[in-house]
Amino acid sequence: MELSNRIQRLKTSPTRKLNPYSEEAERKGIKIYHLNIGQPDIETPKLFFEAIEKFNGKTLGYAHSRGIKPLIQKIQEYYDKMGIHYEEDEIVITYGGSEAVLFTMLAIFDEGDEILVAEPYYANYNSFCDVLNVKRNAVRTYAENGFHLPNRDEIEKYITPKTKAYMFSNPSNPTGVVSTKQELDDIAYLSKKHNMYIISDEVYREFVYGDRKAISFGTYKDLAENVIIIDSISKRFSACGARIGCIISKNKNFMNAVFRECQMRLSAPTLEMIGAAALYDLPSEYFEIARKEYDNRRKILFEELTKMDGVIVKEPEGAFYVLAKLPVKNAENFAIWLLKDFNINGETVMFAPGEGFYATAGLGVDEVRICYSLDSEDLKSAMNILKEGLIKYRKEVER
Ligand SMILES: Cc1ncc(COP(=O)(O)O)c(C=O)c1O
């Protein structure tokens, strides 16, 4: 029996690619510091569970395909506080940001269309592009200058009449970049000029450090028809398992199409939407505490990485990731070696190899994405393992 061509194009996620090696190591009793997966370890606020416990319906039914009203209204209020007003029919609730990206892409792209991206980018964008047969026109960015965009003229070279959208995450997974106002202005100018959508994935909006600010594309009022915002509670409220996200846009035609997609899968999870609505009642101090914690980890990580011989890394600005260039020929082989052949007192560390975050074959082979969703002490131990591992690997394996 044959499978579709579409599904044969779909590759294993780079963040989970090394799981067989980690499972084998764990079977042998090795403790692994998982720096490969972007799952926050901060507790999900109790409000979420309490709201679900209060549910007293006799039947757990489908909700409205668009999502439950109380959650949509909470999201409206949340955006109102940012100075951006959306009407109820400009928001639909999805199964996480993941379904929001999938529905958005399904609504925009035909097979063979093109998408403008800056590589490296969130690896699952590759999966969606592969399944839908969308070609990535990838503008290269570099570890050496913190993965910021090149100038507007350079980006424009990658746009053709078939390029229908620019998609990016801000703050960025996997690089930790927070887009500057100039970068957003450049994208705004190009999307207007070339009639492109902007798919602005803002799921890490709250996690920015220092005096930076993540500027939402929703603030670009003259681009209302172009802008589509992808949002989610997974990272914002440490609630990845709830699977609640949303699509937001003022483009009525697009939102009508998305609504029809929502109808085809009936409804998002009813109880989790109730829990999610409660989360939007958290005071802003919640984010202050979470931000402080991530910022502390970010500083530890950056400090430790810059001390390592040959590692190239710029200070991460947002989200909870850093993409570091390592002094090895092949970071995936090194990551496998760490899981198979190296440990310190029965402990080792796991990273996501960088290659899966690129569109262009051969790029990112000496890079790893490190997620700092571990507490400070564990992070320090993990960095020590990386440092010692690098020394041994370069001396004994990759001489
Ligand atoms: C940039 C980005 N967008 C979207 C998602 C999807 O998250 P979820 O489906 O849990 O909302 C993730 C998850 O890691 C992400 O990093």
pLDDT digits (tens, 9 = 90+) for 275-305: 999 999 999 899 999 999 999 999 999 999 9
pLDDT digits (tens, 9 = 90+) for 70-87: 999 999 999 999 999 999
- Please state, for a pLDDT cut of 90, what percent of the chain lies above it: 92
Strands, E assignment, 114-236: 114-119, 135-140, 163-169, 197-201, 227-232
pLDDT at 226: 98
The number of the ligand 1 atom at minimal distance from the alpha carbon of 319 is 16
Q: Is residue 399 scored above 80 in pLDDT?
A: no
What are the backbone dihedrals phi and psi of residue 333, each rounded to the nearest 5 degrees, phi first? -60, -40
Tell me if 257 CB under 6 Å of ligand 1.
no
Q: Is residue 398 scored above 90 in pLDDT?
A: no
pLDDT at 367: 95
Claim to verify: residue 243 and residue 382 sit in the same structural domain: no
Tell me if 245 CB under 6 Å of ligand 1.
yes
For the whole model, what pTM was predicted? 0.95
Ligand 1: centre distance to CA 398 (Å): 35
Task: Determine the average pLDDT of the residues in 67-71.
Answer: 98
- The answer to whether residue 157 sits within a structural domain is yes
Residue 227: how many CA atoms within 13 Å on its side-chain side? 25
Instruction: Using pLDDT thresholds of 50, 70 and 90, give the confidence band for residue 191.
Output: very high
Claim to verify: residue 126 and residue 179 sit in the same structural domain: yes
CATH for 123: 3.40.640.10
Ligand 1: centre distance to CA 48 (Å): 19
Between CA 218 and CA 173 the distance in angstroms is 20
Q: Is residue 14 scored above 90 in pLDDT?
A: no
Averaged pLDDT of the chain: 95
Q: Is residue 139 scored above 80 in pLDDT?
A: yes
pLDDT at 41: 87
Query: Which residue from 98, 104, 206 has its CB within 8 A of the most atoms of ligand 1, so it is best to mutate?
Result: 98
pLDDT top residue among 145 and 129? 129
pLDDT at 107: 98
Ligand 1: centre distance to CA 225 (Å): 24
Claim to verify: residue 275 and residue 369 sit in the same structural domain: no
What are the backbone dihedrals phi and psi of residue 98, each rounded to the nearest 5 degrees, phi first? -60, -50
Strand order through the sheet with 135-140: 91-94, 245-249, 227-232, 197-201, 163-169, 114-119, 135-140
Ligand 1: centre distance to CA 102 (Å): 11
pLDDT at 143: 86
Domain boundary among 239, 254, 279: 279
The total number of structural domains that make up the chain? 2
Between CA 191 and CA 121 the distance in angstroms is 19
Closest CA to 297 of 240, 381, 388, 373: 373
Claim to verify: residue 97 and residue 120 sit in the same structural domain: yes
Q: Is residue 324 scored above 90 in pLDDT?
A: yes
Claim to verify: residue 271 and residue 208 sit in the same structural domain: yes
Query: Which residue from 199, 203, 204, 372 has its CB within 8 A of the most atoms of ligand 1, so it is best to mutate?
Result: 203
CA distances, 168 to each of 85, 97, 103, 286, 308 (Å) = 22, 13, 16, 26, 30
Claim to verify: residue 178 and residue 295 sit in the same structural domain: no
Q: Is residue 114 scored above 80 in pLDDT?
A: yes
Between CA 10 and CA 127 the distance in angstroms is 6
Task: Determine the average pLDDT of the residues in 366-371.
Answer: 95
Query: Which residue from 170, 173, 228 has its CB within 8 A of the most atoms of ligand 1, so it is best to mutate?
Result: 173
Tell me if 232 CB under 6 Å of ligand 1.
yes
Claim to verify: residue 305 and residue 218 sit in the same structural domain: no
pLDDT at 300: 94
CATH for 362: 3.90.1150.10
Claim to verify: residue 357 and residue 296 sit in the same structural domain: yes
Find the domain containing 119 and state its range.
Answer: 46-279
Ligand 1: centre distance to CA 204 (Å): 9
Ligand 1: centre distance to CA 302 (Å): 23
pLDDT at 12: 82
pLDDT digits (tens, 9 = 90+) for 34-48: 999 888 889 999 999
Query: Which residue from 92, 122, 168 has its CB within 8 A of the most atoms of ligand 1, so it is best to mutate?
Result: 122
